[in-house]
Amino acid sequence: MAAFIREVEDVAMALRHAVLAALLDEELSGYQLAKAFGLGVANFWHALPQQLYAELARLERDGLVSGREVVQDTRPNKRLFTATDAGLAELERFAATANKPSFIRDDLLVKVQAADHVAAGALIEQLAERAAFADAKIELLGGLLRKMRGGMSEEEFLRHGERIGPYLTCLRGIAFEQGNRDWCRRSAAILEERRTAHARG
Amino acid sequence: MAAFIREVEDVAMALRHAVLAALLDEELSGYQLAKAFGLGVANFWHALPQQLYAELARLERDGLVSGREVVQDTRPNKRLFTATDAGLAELERFAATANKPSFIRDDLLVKVQAADHVAAGALIEQLAERAAFADAKIELLGGLLRKMRGGMSEEEFLRHGERIGPYLTCLRGIAFEQGNRDWCRRSAAILEERRTAHARG
DNA sequence: GACGAATAGTCAGATTCTTGAGTATCATGG
DNA sequence: CCATGATACTCAAGAATCTGACTATTCGTC
C-alpha cells in the first residue's frame, strides 16, 4: 500500500505567505497576528482571527512555522510562532511567482458610482467618515514609521536601515490612505456643492 | 400549507449592488459587464464573468433588473439588462447602510514585506512591471474621463455635468494607480540602491 | 462583587470568489 | 480554407473568506 503524503500545493495562497512574511522578523502569537491583520497594522494583507489560527495550524503541520508554548500566570497561555528555514524557502519561491494585479473592491465606491441616483446626504456623511478613518490610520502608520526609523532620518533609514520591507509596505499603506482621504474630501465637497446648487437652482 | 417565499436578504452583498450601480445608466449585456468588471473599466469593483452571469440571474429572479433579448444576425444573440425601480430602491437602501473599511490585499505587498529575506532582483522586476501596468491603466482611465467630460473642462463637469458618480469613481481609480506607480518606482529604486551598495560594500 | 473589556483561542456553516472546462457563432488574416 | 480571436454564455467544483457563536482566564472599575 502506498503511503499518502500530503504535498504542499504550489498555488497562490497569499494569506499563507502573508503570515509567513509577518513571522520572519518577529515571534508572534495567533492573537497578536490577528490584531495586526485585523484593523490597522499589517498594511500588506487583511484577515480575521479564525483565518489566521487555521492558517497557523496548516503552516505548522507543513513545517513552515514552528510554535512554542509560553506559560503565563497573569494571562492565558499562548503559543508563539516563527518561520522555519522551510518557511523562508517557501517565501522565496513565492516571491518569484507572478502576481495578479490588485483591484479595488470597496462598498463606498459602489455607492459613489450610483451617486446620481441615490440620496446625497448619506453619501456625503459616509465620505466624511471614511476620510476621518483614513486620517486616524495615517497617524497610526506614521507612528509605526517613526518607531521603525528610531533615531534615523527617513532618507538615512531607506539607505541603511535594516528591515526595509515592513517600512516600504507601511509607506504604501499611508499613501493609500492619503489618496483615500483626499478623494473622499474632494468628492464630498463636489457632491455638497452640487446639492446646494440644485436646491437654489 | 404555507407558500415558501424567497425573501431578498438584507446583508451586504456588494457585488449585487455593484452590478445594479453599473446598470443604472446603461443597458448592458452580461458579456459587456464582464469586460467592464474584468481588467479595466469598472474602478469600483472587480469580478469574473461567471460571477456576473450568476449575479444577473439572481437579480432578475428578484426583480431588481430586467433583461430583454436582442436578436443579432451578425453575432450570437444577447440579453441586455437594466435596473428596475425595485433595483434602484434596493440601491438606495444599500447606500444608507454602513460600509466596512476597505483593505489592501496584494501579493506584491506581501513580497515587499519580506524584502529583507528574499532575492531583490525578482522583486525589483515585479515592481517595475506593476508600475508599467499602472501607467497603462492611468492612460486608459484618463481616456474614459475625457470621454465622460465631452467638451467640458474638469471643473465645469464636476459642477454641472450629469452622471458624476462614474466620473468620481474613475478619479479614485486613477489616483489609486498613480499611488501604486509612484510607490513601485520609489521602492524599486530604493531596493536597487541598497543592492548595489551592498555589492560594493 | 458584579460587569465589561482584553487576552487567547476554537468550531461550524454560509457566502463569495476563483479555477477550469465547455458550447456556439461569426469575423479576420494569412 | 483554416486558425485565431471576439462575441455570448454556462456548468461544476474547490478554495478563500466571512458571520456568528463558543470556552476560559484575568484586569480594571464602579
- Picking from A22, A168, A191, the nearest residue to B112 by CB comes out as A168
- Considering A66, A95, A124, which residue would you say is the last residue of a domain? A95
- The answer to whether residue B155 is domain-embedded is yes
pLDDT at residue B179, as a whole number: 97
Bridge partners, residue A68, by sequence: A80
In contact, A91 and B118? CB cutoff 8 Å: yes
Q: Contact A130/B175, CB-based, under 8 Å?
A: no
Mean pLDDT, residues A37-53 taken together = 88
- Considering B95, B116, B145, which residue would you say is the last residue of a domain? B95
Residues A137 and A57 in one domain: no
Residues B195 and B116 in one domain: yes
Query: How high does pLDDT run on average in chain A?
Result: 92
- The answer to whether residue A18 is domain-embedded is yes
- The answer to whether residue B152 is domain-embedded is yes
Residues B68 and B129 in one domain: no
- The answer to whether residue A9 is domain-embedded is no
Bridge partners, residue A80, by sequence: A29, A68
- Considering A95, A117, A133, which residue would you say is the last residue of a domain? A95
User: pLDDT exceeding 90 applies to what percent of chain A?
Assistant: 82
- The answer to whether residue A101 is domain-embedded is no
Identify all chain A residues contacting B171, using CB atoms and an 8 Å cutoff: 183, 186-187
Count how many Cα atoms sit within 13 Å of the Cα of residue B79 in the half-sphere of its side chain: 10
Query: How high does pLDDT run on average in chain B?
Result: 92
Identify all chain A residues contacting B173, using CB atoms and an 8 Å cutoff: 104
Chain A interface mutation, best of B24, B46, B109, highest count of A Cβ atoms under 10 Å: B109
Q: What is the pLDDT of residues A81-138, one digit of tens each?
A: 999 999 999 999 999 999 888 888 999 999 999 999 999 999 999 999 999 999 999 9
- The answer to whether residue A36 is domain-embedded is yes
CA of A97 to C1' of C20 (A): 20
Range of the domain at A140: 107-200
Mean pLDDT, residues B135-147 taken together = 94
User: pLDDT exceeding 70 applies to what percent of chain B?
Assistant: 94
Instruction: Spell out the SS3 assignment of chain A.
Output: CCCCCCCCCCCCCHHHHHHHHHHHHCCEEHHHHHHHHCCCCCCCCCCCHHHHHHHHHHHHHCCCEEEEEECCCCCCCEEEEEECHHHHHHHHHHHCCCCCCCCCCCHHHHHHHCCCCCCHHHHHHHHHHHHHHHHHHHHHHHHHHHHHHCCCCHHHHHHHCCCHHHHHHHHHHHHHHHHHHHHHHHHHHHHHHHHHHHHHC
Per-residue pLDDT band for A189 (boundaries 50, 70, 90) equals: very high
Residues A113 and A196 in one domain: yes
Place of cell 499563507: A16
Whether residue B40 is predicted with pLDDT greater than 80 in this model: the reply is no
CA of B189 to C1' of C14 (A): 45
Chain A interface mutation, best of B11, B44, B126, highest count of A Cβ atoms under 10 Å: B44
- Length in residues, chain B: 201
pLDDT at residue B10, as a whole number: 54
Mean pLDDT, residues B110-133 taken together = 97
Residues B123 and B88 in one domain: no
Mean pLDDT, residues B69-89 taken together = 95
pLDDT at residue B101, as a whole number: 83
Whether residue B92 is predicted with pLDDT greater than 70 in this model: the reply is yes
pLDDT at residue B73, as a whole number: 87
Residues B68 and B112 in one domain: no
Work out how many domains chain A is built from and give that number: 2
Q: Contact B107/A102, CB-based, under 8 Å?
A: yes
**Residue B95 contacts A, CB cutoff 8 Å:** yes
Q: What is the pLDDT of residues A128-153, one digit of tens each?
A: 999 999 999 999 999 999 999 999 99
Residues A196 and A117 in one domain: yes
- Length in residues, chain A: 201
Q: Contact A95/B123, CB-based, under 8 Å?
A: yes
Residues A117 and A88 in one domain: no
Whether residue A2 is predicted with pLDDT greater than 60 in this model: the reply is no
- The answer to whether residue A100 is domain-embedded is no
Q: How far is B52 from chain A (nearest CA, A)?
A: 15
User: CATH number of the domain that A26 lies in?
Assistant: 1.10.10.10
Place of cell 503552516: A59
Q: What is the pLDDT of residues B148-158, one digit of tens each?
A: 999 999 999 99
